[in-house]
Amino acid sequence: MSQANKKPKILVARAIFPDLLAKLEQVAEVQSNQADAIWSSAEIKAAMMDKDGAIVTGSEKVDADMLDASPNLKIVSNIAVGYNNLDMPAFKARQVMATNTPDVLTETTADFGFTLLMATARRVTESEHWLRAGHWKKFSICDTPLAMDIHHSTLGIMGMGRIGQAIARRALGFGMKVRYYNRSRLSTELEKECGATYVDRETLLKESDHIILVMPYTPENHHLFGEKELAMMKPTATLVNIARGGIVDELALAKALKEKRIFAAGIDVFEGEPAVRPELLELKNIVLAPHIASATEKTRRAMIELAIENCLAGIAGKTPPNLLS
- The alpha helices in the chain, defined as continuous H runs, are 18-27, 41-48, 64-68, 88-94, 106-121, 124-132, 162-173, 188-194, 201-207, 227-232, 250-258, 278-281, 297-315
185 is catalytic: no
CA of 72: how far to CAs of 5, 35, 37, 220, 320, in Å?
Answer: 16, 26, 25, 32, 17
Q: Is 58 in the site for ligand 8YV (CB under 6 A)?
A: yes
Using Cβ positions, the residue closest to ligand 8YV within the complex turns out to be 58
Q: Give the shortest CB-54-to-ligand 8YV separation in angstroms.
A: 13
273 is catalytic: yes
Beta bridge partners of 77: 55, 99
Q: Is 80 in the site for ligand 8YV (CB under 6 A)?
A: yes
129 is catalytic: no
Name the one range near ligand 8YV by CB under 6 A: 36-44, 78-86, 217-225, 316-324.
Answer: 78-86
- 110 versus 176: smaller Cβ distance to ligand 8YV: 110
Question: Which residue of 77, 153, 241, 294 would you call a contact of ligand 8YV, by CB under 6 A?
Answer: 294
Q: Which residues between 86 and 125 bind ligand 8YV (CB under 6 A)?
A: 105
Tell me which of 273, 277, 301, 309 is the catalytic residue: 273
294's CB contacts (< 8 A; 6+ apart) are: 80, 81, 105, 108, 109, 112, 300, 303
Q: Is 158 in the site for ligand 8YV (CB under 6 A)?
A: no
Q: How far apart are CA 281 and CA 125, in angstroms?
A: 13
Q: Which residues are catalytic?
A: 244, 273, 291
Contact set with ligand 8YV (CB under 6 A): 57-58, 79-82, 105, 293-294
